[in-house]
Structure formats: C-alpha cells, structure tokens
Chains A and B, each alone.
Chain A
C-alpha cells in the first residue's frame, strides 16, 4: 500500500510540486529516473547474476538511436513502434555481444564487455550516415500513443515515471521468482548449478539480453526527453556512470540502483553549482566517491544503511 502511494506520488510529481519546484526540478527527477531504469537493468547483471558488465551503455545507446532512427525513417511517432524498435535493436545487440562474452567470468568478462561496447560506440561515432556521427542524432519525433501527445515536459515525465515503476515492479517480481533465484545461484556457485542441471551459459545469456533490452528502453526514453541522441550515450563514460550508480547505491538490491541514481544525479547537478564555474570536476568527484565506496563501503549505501540499522537495533 505504501509502495502504491509512493509510486503514485512519483508519477504525479510535476503536478503537486508545481508551486514550489521549478520546471528544472522535473527535468532533474526525470533524468534521475531514466538513470535509475538503466541502473536497475545493469544491476540484474552486476548484482544478481554476478556478471560485472562495463559495456551496458552500448544497449542504452542502441535503444536511443533505434527510437530516433525509427521515428525518422519510418515516419511515425507512435510509441509502440519506436519503443518497440528500441527494445528489439537493443535485444539483438545484446544477443550478439552476449554470445561472445557469456562464457567468461569476473575480470575477463568485464574487459570483454568494455572492449566490445567501445567498438560499438566507435562505430556509432563514425557512422555519420546512419547515426549522425559525432554530431549526434537530432530531431527525434515526439512520442505519441494513439492521439496522446507525450512531448510536453510534464507528460514526458509521466511517461518516464510510469515506465520506471513498471520496470521496478518487473525486476522485483523477477528476483522473487525461480528465475531470479537461479541467477543468484549462478552468481554464488556456478559449478554447483551446473551439477544441479542448470544450463548456466544460457541463463546468463538470457539475463544479459533481458538487461540489455531494458537498457534500450531507458535509452529510448532518454531520446524522447532530450529530443537528441549523442554518441556519448553509448560510450564508456555512460557505462561507467551506470556501474558507479549501481555500486554506490548497493548492488544486488532493489533500492540500491534507485538510491545510487539519486546520489549520482545530485553530485552531477549540485556540485557544479557549488563550485566556481571554471572548475568542472564533477566526474573527478564521482570518481573519488566511487573509490571511497569500493574501499570502505563495498555494499553501497544500502549496505551502509543495513549496517547502521543493525547497530541501532543492538542498543
């Protein structure tokens, strides 16, 4: 019940916050939610299945480009088409890359996802004819559903917020179900899982493709929001940002990616306004925060929260 109320509040945020929050606030929360969806999908891999992927932005970018290109080439703005195209392209790309990386683990897996995603990014950056190259893809159509036009800032926000709630629910459901348990099993002891009869390679591939698809949807939402796709969306910086979000928030938990995206968005928005404008070091700050968490709070903020809660209960 509490969750339903929170979800409702989140979705209607621009409306009830209008008196005291600016339009800018809506944009900030919207972008944080898009990052949260992206991070939630990455957490399926990093936190649940134990697959540390540093190339997840390739799918985010693929979704963004697919949505944009679909709206331009197919001359339609209907959400089912453009969002569907985004999901499909992202899923296919995840399948292709997944087949190549899924048999490796740990650091090697991390390296491979990074390298392959970087290659995809470089292709996007150079393939001017299709993706607009370094100039990016502009003029993304407005997202429409039947006659409903979602392009107004408040409406876009609602679209993003609803998607976020749906994705969060889906992932929560997944992790409770046998599928989610199986992913955890693969993470904890793959050898034993195989001895139990699980085809672990296929399980990992399915998780990889699922995560990639959701990331693609997040990418499409980003394209609708900013009406622009930049090659950087598919780049290493974007992948790293998502990874940092997951770890700093708390990998393997539902709240982790959400809290993480709030923190990362905060750092990216607030820090520049606190420092003199010539000092553009929000990435460095993010890096330092990340280092801090890896060294001292590996379980992220959720982990810190649990730790604090346990200490409090003992008193």
Chain B
C-alpha cells in the first residue's frame, strides 16, 4: 500500500471512528444512567437518517435536517421512556427486551413510510467537494465528520465535568438510586437521558447518511452492531470508554476492510474476543451487571 493510500485510509478510519463515537455515546450514556442497553438504538439511528431524508426533500437544507432529526428523536425518546420503560423500573433485563420490541416496530414503520429501496443523502453544499491532501484528493465531508465528532466529544467532556447537568449525570451513572434518595426527580432525569441518547443516535444517522447511505438493514449494520462493539471494547457507561472504543474500532474496521475484504469483520471479532478475554469490562469501563 502506498503512503498516500495509507494516509487516506487512516483518515477514513478516523472519520468512521468519529461517527462511531457520536453513535455509541448515546448508547453508553443510557446504559450508564439507567442500566439499560437500548437495543432500539440502531433503529433510532436509522430513523434519524430517514427523517433527515424527508427534511432535505422538503426544505433542501441539510443543516435544518441536522437540527430537526435529533429533535424528533428526542421527542420520541421522551414519549417512549415514560410510556414503556418506566413501567418496568428495576427490571433491567425486561426493559432491554422492551427495546427489542420497539426496534421491530420502528424498523417496519420506516419501511412502510419511506419504502425499502436504497436511498442516499448528499453532503451539503460547501462540504461536498474534495480537497487536495498529501498527494491525492480527499472528500471534505469526511474531514467535517472528524471535526464534528471531535468537537462533540470535547463539548460533552466539558458538560460532563464542568456543568451541573454533567454532575447529575456523573452521579447518576455512579448510583441513580442514591440520587432519587437525595431528592432528584429520577423520572425526569431518566426520560431526559433516554431522549438525549435517542437524539445522539439520530444525529449520528444524519451525519452518517452522506457517507453510508440510507437503506434497510442500517439499523443493525452499521447501527447496532458497531455501537455495541464500541462500547464492549471501550467500556460501557463512560465517555472516555466511548472515545477509546471508537478510536480503536473505526480505524481497525477500515483497515480490515481494505486488507481482508471479505472477512474484514473477522478483525473486529478478534478485537472483541481479545478484550473479552483480557479485560472483560472493556478497556476503560466499569460495568455494573444487572439482571
């Protein structure tokens, strides 16, 4: 492989990693706070992309879609949490099962409303060109994705460590029950957390669309599959875990696909297996296992 190719693939890997971070952070957040692995996370991701599709179709604005889709998903999350999850407070495994049902419904509804063909979303004007870079050209949009992901990670880190909300989240991740005992309205906190997780998934869907397309099956691949792999590898429940996981899995997957093509995912399998054997809680994670 030529140096230019390596460099390009490295950038590809980073942009994929950035996307994975946006996607996985929501999953990790919800688990950290509520002890629930939201298996509808991939469906939320998919819904975000399709909503963006419609917004662009009606208004022509990618940026508007970038705003509307996460908001729509947040709204959905705000409805679903009290309607379904709250009824099973304390029954974590059953809550996870619920999210499976939700995902089945959402995916079918998407297929019904938007159809089952492969669709695409173009990068917004201004970001749809290529830029000369190290002996070749590289799509601007992918650089944007890297920047966006990094900025989001930085913003989340600031919120997490410096704001009151962040403190609530950190406390909740540590011990949500204690928060309730201290007088915090855990119902609202959980609903807000779930909504944020959904919004992040939707955001990831919009950002990913110009790169990965919009099609049936995207809820599992890349959606759920990669977000799970990232949190398993990086560690559930922590921001740094999501970062670590994305930064590792993104480039590994990209290079795997280049080097091994057909059996590229064997690389991912190997990484997950290694992590499970050597450090089962993930590289930077603290797992609380709930039944």
Contact = CB atoms under 8 A, between A and B. Distances in A.
Q: Indicate, yes or no, whether A interacts with B.
A: yes
Interface of A: 52, 54, 100-101, 103-108, 110-112, 114-116, 118-120, 122-123, 126-129, 133, 235-236, 240, 243-244, 247, 279-284, 286-288, 290-291, 294-295, 298
A283 B291 contact: no
B263 A127 contact: yes
B35 A107 contact: yes
A68 to B, nearest CB: 18
A244 B262 CA distance: 31
Interface string B26-70: 000000000111010000000000000000000000000000000
Interface stretch (B157-165, B170-178, B217-225): B217-225
Given A115-B229, A280-B112, A282-B108, 8 more contacts: A100-B272, A103-B280, A115-B232, A119-B269, A123-B269, A279-B112, A284-B107, A295-B84
Nearest to A100: B276
A287 B272 contact: no
Contact of A115 (B35, B264, B266, B272): B272
A236 B220 contact: yes
Contact of B290 (A107, A112, A281, A295): A107
Interface stretch (B92-100, B123-131, B144-152, B188-196): B92-100
B137 interface: no
B134 interface: no
Contacts of B221: 118, 122
A185 B205 CA distance: 44
B228 A283 contact: no
Given A283-B107, A288-B105, A110 B96 contact: yes
A107 B100 contact: no
Contacts of B272: 100, 115-116, 119
A122 B265 contact: yes
Interface string B209-249: 00000000000110011001100100000000000000000
Interface string B75-105: 0000000001001100011101110111111
B273 interface: yes
A242 to B, nearest CB: 12
A107 B37 contact: yes
Nearest to A131: B262
B227 to A, nearest CB: 9
A290 B276 contact: no
List 9 A-B pairs, minimum CB-CB distance, nearest first: A287-B104, A284-B108, A291-B101, A287-B105, A290-B101, A115-B228, A106-B291, A118-B225, A287-B101
Contacts of A123: 263, 265-266, 269
A295 B102 CA distance: 12
Dominant secondary structure of chain A at its interface with chain B: helix
A114 B289 contact: no
B228 to A, nearest CB: 4
Contacts of A291: 84, 98, 101-102, 105
Interface string B276-291: 1100100000010111
B241 to A, nearest CB: 14
A181 B138 CA distance: 61
Contacts of A119: 225, 229, 265-266, 268-269, 272
A241 B171 CA distance: 37
Contacts of A236: 220, 224
Q: Which of B36, B101, B109, B291 counts the most chain A CB atoms within 10 A? A: B101
A183 B210 CA distance: 49
A111 B228 contact: yes
A101 B272 CA distance: 11
A225 B184 CA distance: 58
A298 B264 CA distance: 39
A280 B111 contact: yes
Nearest to B287: A108
A280 B104 CA distance: 12
A100 B35 CA distance: 22
A51 to B, nearest CB: 11
Contacts of B88: 294-295
Contact of B101 (A110, A122, A294): A294
Nearest to B267: A119
B289 A108 contact: yes
Contacts of B266: 119, 123
B102 to A, nearest CB: 7
A122 B97 contact: no
A42 to B, nearest CB: 14
Q: Which of A122, A280, A286, A298 counts the most chain B CB atoms within 10 A? A: A122
B94 A287 contact: no
A178 B102 CA distance: 38
A127 B265 CA distance: 10
Q: Which of B262, B264, B280, B291 counts the most chain A CB atoms within 10 A? A: B262
